[in-house]
A = this chain, B = another copy of it.
Amino acid sequence: MSSAAKDISPSAPKTARGARTRARILKAAEDTFGTLGYHRAGISDITRAAGVAQGTLYCYFSGKEEILRELVRDMGHKVRAHLAASVIGARDRLQAEELGLRAFLEYVSANPSLYRVLQEAQFVDEAIFREYYEAFGRGYMRMLADATRKGEVRPGNDEIRVWALMGLSNFLGLRFALWDQDHSFDEVVTTISDLFRNGLALDGKEKA
């Protein structure tokens, strides 16, 4: 049920009309998955939302799973782009973390469906979920290493740190952007920034 390179997209659209239809289906799937969840969402829910017939979906996708994969890839590109743009003016790594966290929260808030889809992908196709975070992590590690070299960040095990940071953002996004916005993003960013700058302990910077 999950051999490696099994289902290449039945065929890429060859005209602008086809491309438009494919995109409509993808958007409808995003909304439907976001509302109903992947499993509760049926093919017919997606095609109805897209305003096409059932069969049309199979012109562009081999099935539900391939749509999910496509959406996860999409989320990857979009988040990366959004975060990359957001940290452009940062004077150092710590400020980049602040800008990045805020941008992430904003992205989640603006794209709740896509975020839910990503999380749910963990249980539908774990490989693509891991791929997302491993790719994200690689980029993040490079930035931390650079910042350490520049003396902006304490040396440390960056792989572990990166997973900690991704997890932290993940939960903050879930709680404060997706579930309830009972705290401003400012508040969240300030609190986390303080953690990064000073730690949790009242008396740090001595006994390790």
Contact = CB atoms under 8 A, between A and B. Distances in A.
Nearest to A150: B202
A7 interface: no
Classify the interface of chain A: helix, strand, loop or mixed.
helix
A7 B185 CA distance: 39
Contact of A171 (B157, B170, B197, B202): B170
Interface stretch (A42-50, A80-88, A160-168): A160-168
Interface residues of A, number: 53
Interface string A142-177: 000000000111101101110111111111101110
A207 B92 CA distance: 14
A79 interface: no
Nearest to A196: B200
A16 interface: no
A38 interface: yes
A194 B123 contact: no
Closest 3 CB pairs of A and B: A167-B171, A199-B199, A196-B200
Interface of A: 37-39, 93-94, 97, 119-120, 122-123, 130, 151-154, 156-157, 159-161, 163-172, 174-176, 179, 183, 187-188, 191-202, 204-205, 207-208
